[in-house]
Amino acid sequence: MTEHAQTECGSAPADGEAAVALGGGWEDDGGGARAADKSAQGVVLAFGQSMKTLRLRAGMEREEFGRKIGYSASTVASFEQGRRIPSPGTIDQADSILRADGLLKVWKEQVERAQYPVFFQGMAQLEKEAVELLAYDTLVFKGLLQTEEYMRALLGMRRPVLDQETIEQRVAARLARQTIFDRWPAPLLSFVLDESILRRPYGGTDVLRRQLEHLLLIGQKKNVALQVMPLDREESAGVDGPFTVVTRTGDGKKFVYAEAQGSATLETDPQQAALTAARYGIIRSQALPTRESLEFIERLLESP
């Protein structure tokens, strides 16, 4: 039986646990803001105050500091006030420019984790540690595959409406996750997409077109297998909806992440994870092969 438990600090559950992390949907943007996100906000506010204190100690105005790190004064203000989250590279740069001797760098891991909703932090960490990731999607392109403008289109459709700072934060967080494609050793990445996703013009036809072009580029990577599940299939093992299976580097342990309306689940039970991975194998066998899938996407781009 699956236990309902929130893992400490959003880290991946320990071996032998089966956890359900409750919160709003992250990939499909289905959930609203959750009170749990406020704990991460405290980390961001504390970091911002530290950055401001060190900037003032260095005798720099926001405009000067912003020029040195490549941001406007208003963005620096957003960092300092906890309204935006800087990238790890920006934190390193700020630490060096302000001669902080590591006082800002020590925040990097906590700040990076804080950019995700609490319920997703465990999954975000697993993506960074993945030796293999298998994903089946039926509603929208997975965050790892989304272009920035497609992200913004989805986030702009949220109800209740998200404020602009939250949208910027979530866009930055999703883009940061996409470094998985550039990691070495390269993890094995497999994506099966329902055909309906390829036809929904969220954000407009131009946004969809560029998203499909982006898919073709990703599909050319040697460590990526991208497949399409056609609408005309009379059988599909994916009728229960989208899910992701992640195999962790080192111990080979498998985790299953799934989202439903207003909640997200991280399953760690070995038997359930093995069954889900097996089900994914069946889904792959029912979908178009990778080469035919890329040709299918090319034909969609050629159609008026």
Structure tokens, 293: 């899938």
**pLDDT for 99 beyond 50:** yes
Contacts 24+ apart (CB under 8 A), 177-183: 177/124, 177/127, 177/143, 177/144, 178/144, 180/127, 180/128, 180/130, 180/133, 180/144, 181/144, 181/218, 181/221, 181/224
Structure tokens, 277: 């991975």
Peptide bond between residue 185 and the one before it cis (omega within 30 degrees of 0): yes
- Per-residue pLDDT band at 110 (split at 50, 70, 90): confident
Residue 43: predicted pLDDT: 87
- Average pLDDT in the chain: 87
Residue 195: predicted pLDDT: 98
Listed range (11-20, 62-71, 211-220) with the worst mean pLDDT:
11-20
Q: pLDDT by residue (tens digit) across 120-135?
A: 888 999 999 999 999 9
Q: pLDDT by residue (tens digit) across 224-252?
A: 999 999 999 999 999 999 999 999 999 99
Q: Tokens 């993890």, residue?
A: 187
Q: What is the C-alpha end-to-end distance of the chain, expressed in Å?
A: 50
Distance CA 285, CA 236 (A): 10
- Which CATH architecture does the domain made up of 8-34+118-302 adopt? 2-Layer Sandwich (3.30)
Domains of the chain: which residue ranges? 8-34+118-302, 37-112
- Which ranges in 14-114 belong to alpha helices (H)? 37-57, 62-69, 73-80, 88-97, 108-114
Classify 198 as helix, strand or coil. helix
Q: pLDDT by residue (tens digit) across 182-198?
A: 999 999 999 999 999 99
Amino acid at 23: G
Q: Identical fold at 8-34+118-302 and 37-112? A: no
CATH for 37-112? 1.10.260.40
Q: pLDDT by residue (tens digit) across 4-55?
A: 333 333 445 554 445 444 344 556 554 333 333 666 778 889 999 999 999 9
Task: Tell me the chain's radius of gyration from C-alpha atoms.
Answer: 20
Contacts 24+ apart (CB under 8 A), 89-93: 93/68, 93/69
To the nearest 10°, report the CA torsion of 41, 34, 173, 127.
110
Distance CA 5, CA 122 (A): 12
State the average pLDDT over residues 147-154.
97
Residue 269: predicted pLDDT: 95
Residue 19: predicted pLDDT: 46
Amino acid at 300: L
Distance CA 261, CA 242 (A): 12
